[in-house]
Chains A and B, each alone.
Chain A
Amino acid sequence: MSATTLGAGLLAPTRPAAFWPTGWVAALAWIAAAATISLLPDADDLGRTQDLAALAAGIGGLILLAALGSSLPGLAPRLAPLRAAGPWLILLAAGLAAWELATAKYAWLPRPFFAAPQSLLEVFTDDYERLGESVWRSLLLVLPGYALGAGIGFLFGIAMGWSRLVGYWAHPVVRLIGPLPATAWLPIAFFAFSSSRGASTFLIALASFFPVTVLTWSGVSAVSRAYYDVARTMGASPWFLVRKVAVPAAMPSVFVGLFMGLGASFSVLVVAEMMGVKAGLGWYMQWAQGWAAYPNMYAALLVLALICSSAVTLLFRLRDRLLSWQKGLVRW
């Protein structure tokens, strides 16, 4: 127990209320970036330049307030997570300024392939309706598909790990087909399913099915025989062994599968939307590319990245809740 406390102590931010030099530098960096955006003339006629400058200045102002608050004992603990992100805040400001200089101000990077940051901002302010609709449609497609594939994969993985018969027949098939990218099934899926929605759901489910199956299976197979022996000597039925021994012991491995399946599902989603589905972020990107509207494409890409990483964060939160017993055993 003392080791756990010690570990927490090392990770926790030291000196709760104190001067935060990194915060001041970050605030100045954002304000400097805002000045660069606002004061230097654009090489070309671009909209939303002053809005972007205002946004950067606003972020700088907020960091400034946080830096001031860091010196107050009452606010300091709440600002601790922000303090940890200090160096990143500086880098982001520098990155924004460099991006702005390289595109909008001096056009060092070839246009239209490289979009200026204010052009992305313009997409969010002016095309949010279509973008929002695409996000919604993408989520409606990917979430049921992922849940379906993960659910079936979980059950199938347990069956493979538990039953010698299922393992015998399923193992070679999973070994052979598992490594194929789910998108390779695209022609068959669109042929077999009458609707593009059905076909895409199938492909997304397939993408999450394999990693979840394989990792659930390996998790169940790796359960120590001693656990089963203990439960058996106490009168456990086979069903109890599956539910209360095999499944909980395999959960850490299952979550690795869920994580891998999530990434695979999103990449299949984009491909499916580019190929057949007439809605969603993949379609939006395809459509934007068709019009050479690269800022729109980048904006959609950014949104996609944010959705993916939020989904992963949610999954990790869930894992940390369910597998809190692992604390101190493994860190990953």
Chain B
Amino acid sequence: MVSGARLEVRGVSHAFALEKRALPVLQEIDFVAEPGDFVALLGPSGCGKSTLLRLVAGLEPPSEGQLLVDGKPITGTDPSRTIMFQDPTLFPWRTVRGNAQLGPEARGSLAADAPRIEAALSLVGLDAFAEAYPHQLSGGMAQRASLARALVNEPRVLMLDEPLGKLDSLTRLAMQRELVALWERERFTALLVTHDVEEALLLADRVLVLSDRPARIRADIRVERPRPRRRDDPGLVALREEILALLGLAEAA
């Protein structure tokens, strides 16, 4: 089994070039995720959280600062750092299995990785739907397929870009539980982007609260509560109040 990687984000700032004008989205982001940490990035929508994930994935280089995995700078994409997007982004012309085997196929290791593909499909409970096409899946099943596609690559850093954002609330609860179980088993380093305070507190060890764009880290909150966690845990409720206050959304006291 592969364990999680140590991720260092050092003074990262990033801006988009928008018609001659630079639009800053990230400002001086600085944190370290230890191997196997579950870190939630929480902030208002459009604040630049997803951009940070793109930088960690190596899809874009940061305008300023440095990103390191196990001490080595990130220079490009790598299968050990995989993103699960908000939309399942399954390839509609491939079956569930075809989608799951995308990574091994791209790297030319299809034959060697065949057992791993089947294992990932049964892990997310889609072995019976391996030959189904994405349009035949429900939203939750599509997100599971997308998760299987990410897991096949044995990621050491798994980035979750609001992967449950578009699911109905029941599926969402079930998948939150599954994600935690998965992370407890595999112990990859997890980076979860979300704007749902409760979700961040249920899943993560650490919640980084981000400000409005350009995003800065406003607070680094440790969630030291035992698992499995309950929504009504008084410790979590207190943290929830604290975070909402930080976001300027404190419930009338």
Contacts and interface: CB of A to CB of B under 8 A. Distances in A.
Interface string A17-29: 0000000000000
Given A4-B136, A233-B57, A235-B107, A249 B93 contact: yes
Contact of A230 (B89, B107, B133, B135): B89
A231 B83 CA distance: 10
B136 A234 contact: no
B211 interface: no
A227 B77 contact: no
Contacts of A234: 77, 79, 82, 102-103, 106-107, 149, 153
B87 interface: yes
A87 B147 CA distance: 52
A326 B132 CA distance: 12
A329 B92 contact: yes
A1 B133 CA distance: 10
A286 B47 CA distance: 70
A226 B85 contact: yes
A235 B79 contact: yes
A233 B82 contact: yes
Contacts of B87: 226
Interface stretch (A64-72, A166-174, A240-248): A240-248
Interface in B67-81: 77-79, 81
A251 B92 CA distance: 12
A229 interface: yes
**In the complex, which range does the number of interface residues on chain B fall in?**
20 to 34
Contact of A248 (B59, B83, B93): B93
**In the complex, which range does the number of interface residues on chain A fall in?**
20 to 34
Contacts of A245: 91
A234 B92 CA distance: 18
B92 A236 contact: no
Contacts of B59: 229, 232-233
A328 interface: yes
Given A226-B85, A226-B87, A328-B135, A235 B92 contact: no
B58 to A, nearest CB: 8
B105 interface: yes
A325 interface: yes
A237 interface: yes
Interface string A216-233: 000000001011011111
B103 A235 contact: yes
Contacts of A237: 106
Contacts of A230: 83, 85, 89, 102, 149
Contacts of A240: 105-106
Contacts of A249: 91, 93
Interface in B90-104: 91-94, 102-103
Contacts of A236: 102, 106
Given A233-B57, A233-B59, A248 B91 contact: yes
A323 B135 CA distance: 13
A255 to B, nearest CB: 13
A235 B91 contact: no
Nearest to A230: B89
A237 B76 CA distance: 12
A84 to B, nearest CB: 27
A261 B108 CA distance: 36
A250 to B, nearest CB: 10
A132 B54 CA distance: 63
Contacts of A226: 85, 87, 89
A251 B93 contact: yes
Most chain B CB inside 10 Å of its own CB: which residue of A236, A323, A327, A328: A236
A233 B77 contact: yes
A235 B106 contact: yes
Most chain B CB inside 10 Å of its own CB: which residue of A4, A233, A245, A326: A233
A328 B102 CA distance: 23
Sorted nearest first, the 9 A-B pairs with minimum C-beta distance are A234-B103, A236-B106, A235-B79, A248-B93, A325-B93, A226-B89, A235-B107, A328-B135, A232-B77
5 contacts: A227-B89, A229-B59, A233-B59, A235-B107, A251-B93
Interface of A: 1, 4, 224, 226-227, 229-237, 240, 244-245, 248-249, 251, 323, 325-329
Given A229-B89, A235-B103, A248-B93, 20 more contacts: A4-B136, A226-B89, A227-B89, A229-B83, A230-B85, A230-B149, A232-B59, A233-B83, A234-B77, A235-B106, A237-B106, A245-B91, A248-B91, A251-B93, A323-B93, A325-B92, A325-B93, A325-B133, A327-B135, A328-B135
Interface of B: 54, 57-59, 77-79, 81-83, 85, 87, 89, 91-94, 102-103, 105-107, 132-133, 135-136, 149, 153
